[in-house]
Amino acid sequence: MTHSLTLDQSASQFGAVPLDDVALAAQGDRRAFERIYRSHVDRVFSVCARMVGDRARAEELTQDVFVRAWDKLATFRGESQFSTWLHRLAVNVILNDREAEGRRRARHDDGVEDMDTISYGDVRALPVPGLSLDLERAIATLPPGARKVFVLHDVEGYTHEEIGSMLGVTSGGCKAQLHRARMLLRRMLTQ
Amino acid sequence: MTRDHLDHDVADESHRASCAECTAVWTELEGISAQAARLPLLTPSRDLWAGIETRLARHGMTDLSASVAPRPAASRWLARPAVRLAVAASLLVAVSAGITWTYAKSSAPQASATGRSIEELGGNRAAVTTVVQPASLDETVATMDHEIAALRLLLDERRERLDPRTVSVLEANMQLIDKAIAESKAALEADPSSRFLAAQYARAYASKITLLRDVATIPAGT
């Protein structure tokens, strides 16, 4: 199964960012940075919300991402699209978020962070049994490890090699985890 | 078809070639993947900019909106956080050393004292001499204390969202720096003409501000 969405294509959904705004913001122009925020906030929030599975925490993380971006703006050298750079920064902030991790563990107290131990039986009961579940809600119900890989690969367009590097796993382990995530989703969506 | 059967065979292309059931499952998985790639963007429930702007302001970034025009490479170099911190540290050192010089030899011209301090410390003369306005030792220390108090306030607000181990390390480092500040201050009062002690005093203050600024900018949960 191939995924047709590349990262740059995914990141391009941010919309065009005038390079002048990036340069101005790097020099301390907060209004330019606000314009960048306005054009990117939905994209950043989307990846936060889907990876964390908690909208309130995702809003806090989105703020963290932009504060971090402001601080790191001068390190952006234009070697990739600005949107790609910001997206990767957002993913790093999310993966380093221990608070969200703690909440996820509390909600999924099955200890399924070990990516090789997830089985199809690990899916939690749906919040409202019998209610039709769309893909968005099904993703939020995935165990954390499976959700990370699925969102990064199928929604955000990262390659297995990139995801493996981010998560510290092999690309083979990442592929296996992705297959499991898809199977879990299929099961939830067809219940 | 059992779950285990699916697990092992659906992803196996050669198996799918001879198994209509697994092929059908695979097609469904491809559909899920395609649907995921087309998910619409989500929007926060509120405008997050105000909170971001407050945090930017609190960790000491200057809004240059009113005066910004495209600037040459040197300005971009100055825009780098590391360079800003270095310049800020130089400023602090220059101010404190200059003030100490004035404190020790009240008849000496302040600009000269400040300039000499910058040269000794390799600071950016152009940046410093246009900004530094030495007043008195008390005023300078008060300015730095004011910034430290503001950063402290921010830290207190963020404390619960930081990893307890980070907070613990921060507090331990802060105690060490406070001790260094107190010792430098006492030594400087005993020997007000010592530029070395003045520089030590300033460096200790700069370390404290830098540490607090770093903590103010790290992501929650770190």
Question: Which amino acid, residue B206?
Answer: A
Alpha helices (H) along B80-136 = 81-104, 110-121, 125-131
CB contact under 8 Å between B41 and A13, yes or no, is yes
- Report how far residue A25's alpha carbon sits from residue A48's, in angstroms, rounded to the nearest whole number: 23
Render pLDDT for A80-94 as a digit per residue (tens, 0 to 9).
889 999 999 999 999
The answer to whether residues B100 and B80 touch, using CB atoms and an 8 Å cutoff, is no
Q: What pLDDT is stored for residue B182 in this prediction?
A: 83
End-to-end CA distance of chain B: 46
Q: Which chain B residues are within 8 Å of A1, Cβ to Cβ?
A: 26, 29-30, 33
| CA gyration radius, chain B | 28
Tell me the pTM. 0.53
Q: What pLDDT is stored for residue A1 in this prediction?
A: 55
- Which of B16, B43, B62, B68 would you mutate first to test chain A, the one with the most A CBs within 10 A? B68
Q: What pLDDT is stored for residue A106 in this prediction?
A: 55
Choose among B182, B184, B173: nearest CA to B208.
Answer: B173
What value does the mean pLDDT take over residues A55-83?
A: 90
CB contact under 8 Å between A27 and B6, yes or no, is no
- Report how far residue B165's alpha carbon sits from residue A106's, in angstroms, rounded to the nearest whole number: 20
Any idea which of A12-26, A45-59, A174-188, B108-122 has the lowest mean pLDDT? B108-122
| CA gyration radius, chain A | 17
pLDDT band, residue A66 (cuts 50/70/90): very high
Cβ atoms within 10 Å of B2's Cβ, excluding its own: 7
Nearest to B37 among A60, A97, A155 (CB): A155
Alpha helices (H) along chain B = 3-9, 13-16, 20-37, 49-58, 73-79, 81-104, 110-121, 125-131, 137-158, 164-190, 195-217
Render pLDDT for A93-123 as a digit per residue (tens, 0 to 9).
999 886 556 555 555 443 334 443 333 333 3
Of residues B94 and A172, which shows the higher confidence score?
A172
Q: Domains plus CATH for chain A? A: 7-99 (1.10.1740.10), 111-189 (1.10.10.10)
Nearest to A37 among B7, B25, B52 (CB): B52
One digit per residue, the tens of pLDDT, for chain B of length 222 reads: 444 455 557 777 777 777 888 888 888 888 899 999 989 899 999 999 999 988 888 765 444 444 333 333 333 433 444 434 444 444 444 444 443 433 344 433 333 333 333 333 333 333 332 233 334 555 566 667 766 776 777 777 777 777 788 778 778 888 888 888 888 888 877 877 776 677 677 777 777 777 777 776 666 666
Instruction: Decide if pLDDT at A10 tops 50.
Output: no
Instruction: Indicate the domain borders of chain B.
Output: 3-34, 78-217
- Scanning A3-62 for CB atoms below 8 A from B yields 3-5, 13, 20, 23-24, 26-34, 37-38, 41-43, 45-46, 49-50, 55, 58-62
Q: What pLDDT is stored for residue B17 in this prediction?
A: 78
CB contact under 8 Å between A29 and B65, yes or no, is yes
Q: What pLDDT is stored for residue A122 in this prediction?
A: 37
Three-state secondary structure string covering chain A:
CCCCCCHHHHHHCCCCCCHHHHHHHHCCCHHHHHHHHHHHHHHHHHHHHHHHCCHHHHHHHHHHHHHHHHHHHHHCCCCCCHHHHHHHHHHHHHHCCHHHHHHHHHHCCCCCCCCCCCCHHHCCCCCCCCCCCCHHHHHHHCCHHHHHHHHHHHHCCCCHHHHHHHHCCCHHHHHHHHHHHHHHHHHHHCC
Dmax of chain B from CA atoms? 97
ipTM of the complex: 0.77
Distance from the A97 Cα atom to the nearest Cα atom in chain B, whole angstroms: 5
- Which of A30, A96, A149 would you mutate first to test chain B, the one with the most B CBs within 10 A? A30
The answer to whether residues B104 and B136 touch, using CB atoms and an 8 Å cutoff, is no
Q: Which chain A residues are within 8 Å of B56, Cβ to Cβ?
A: 30, 33, 67, 70
Q: What pLDDT is stored for residue B191 in this prediction?
A: 78
Torsional sign, CA B120, B125, B129, B133: negative
The answer to whether residues B195 and B101 touch, using CB atoms and an 8 Å cutoff, is yes
Q: What pLDDT is stored for residue A107 in this prediction?
A: 53
Q: What pLDDT is stored for residue B146 in this prediction?
A: 66
The secondary element (H helix, E strand) that includes residue B61 is: none
Instruction: Decide if pLDDT at A67 tops 80.
Output: yes
Of residues A131 and B5, which shows the higher confidence score?
B5
The answer to whether residues B155 and B145 touch, using CB atoms and an 8 Å cutoff, is no
Render pLDDT for A149-161 as a digit per residue (tens, 0 to 9).
999 999 999 999 9
Place of tokens 């089985």: A119
